Amino acid sequence: MTKKTQFWSRKPGWQVEGSADSGRRTISCFIATATERKRRLTDVPRLRDSLSDLLGPGDPSRPETPADLDSMVSTLTGAINGASRKAWPLTRIRGNKKPQWWSDVLNAIRKKCRTQFNKAKLTGTPSDWCAYKYDLRKYKKELRRTQRLSWREFCGRIGEITEVSRLRRVLASDPAVPSYLMAAGGSWTNSALESPGLLLDTHFPEGHEEHAPNGYFGESCAGAVITEGRILWAIRGFDPFKSGGPDGIVPAELQCAAEVILPWLKIIYECCIDLTYIPKTLNVAKLVFIPKAGRSSHSCPMDLKPISLTSIKDI
């Protein structure tokens, strides 16, 4: 085995086939394609069937303790996520998308330019090369014109905001939250780890307190308040593809499989009232701080607006 053969045999995804005595060996390779799953193209019948198989036939048993209620919520969350992954179509990730200023006119001119180049390369006649250069100049001219027009429109849209915000928008389409913030007394946080604590204490001063249960409500109260019709009304009231919370579930998945999960949700909400207990997974929220518009700087906690993303089952 030569050094080149040893090199290709050690490459991941490459395989050297054939005998070394024959003098000729075949090198085969496997090229992995980047893929992703599209939630907006979910196979609804497959989602319902998969969810029904994972949850099992019939209504679930009623939890008797808070631990049983936590287990039931975890089972439902895992089943919805598992069925959703099976129902999402697997699509190939293509390259970078075309910029906003790209148009069908540019696409047609570029296609014509490439066609003329291939023709000139094949024939080699001066007339075909002149035609190709003419199309190339036309393409570059239209490209520069479109880019200037797009930049002019972009500058016009941000002309009414402050200079700092304008520069912030130009340099970054997704600005990051400052790592160091100034407290009420004028002191600054010493590290990026202290900033989240300062934000929580400022926006949620009573958020760390734990409240004891208020008592037992009884099954009759839960049955009168919680109905499948009200749960379905609440589920359908969400935007189908709003951002998901810590559980990763979007409203569209609940809306498509509502008839399968309604008995589970009804029992969960009734037990929350009967046991005066909220499952642990429903008490977790994803908190995101967004810089407020129109501020000259974002160095204080009040310059940032908190957005809480809770689990979609927490309705």
Distance CA 132, CA 117 (A): 6
User: Average pLDDT for residues 78-85, to the nearest whole number?
Assistant: 88
HSE-up of residue 299 (Cα within 13 Å, Cβ side): 9
Higher-pLDDT residue of 170, 15: 15
pLDDT at 29: 62
DSSP symbol at 179:
S
pLDDT of 149 over the 70 cut: yes
pLDDT at 113: 93
pLDDT of 145 over the 90 cut: yes
The alpha-carbon radius of gyration of the chain (Å, integer) is 30
Helix (H, G, I), strand (E, B) or coil at 269: helix
pLDDT at 187: 80
pLDDT at 23: 60
Rounded to 10 degrees, the C-alpha dihedral 194/198/204/209 comes to 50
Instruction: Indicate the helix (H) or strand (E) that contains 28.
Output: strand 26-29
Distance CA 176, CA 155 (A): 22
HSE-up of residue 134 (Cα within 13 Å, Cβ side): 8
Decide: 85 and 37 in contact? Cβ < 8 Å.
yes
Instruction: Tell which residue, 228, 254, 225, 231, has the closest CA to residue 242.
Output: 254
Residue 126, amino acid: P
* 188 strand-pairing partners: 182
- Tens-digit pLDDT profile for residues 34-59: 666 677 788 888 888 999 899 888 88
pLDDT of 78 over the 50 cut: yes
pLDDT at 306: 81
Distance CA 114, CA 85 (A): 41
Tell me the two tokens of residue 119.
Answer: 């023709």
pLDDT of 86 over the 70 cut: yes
pLDDT at 153: 83
Question: Could you identify the residue written with the tokens 């912030």?
Answer: 168
- Tens-digit pLDDT profile for residues 245-278: 888 888 888 888 888 999 999 999 888 888 888 8
Binning pLDDT at 50, 70 and 90, where does residue 215 land?
Answer: very low
User: Average pLDDT for residues 11-33, to the nearest whole number?
Assistant: 60
pLDDT of 191 over the 80 cut: no
Binning pLDDT at 50, 70 and 90, where does residue 106 land?
Answer: very high
pLDDT at 196: 77
pLDDT of 93 over the 70 cut: no
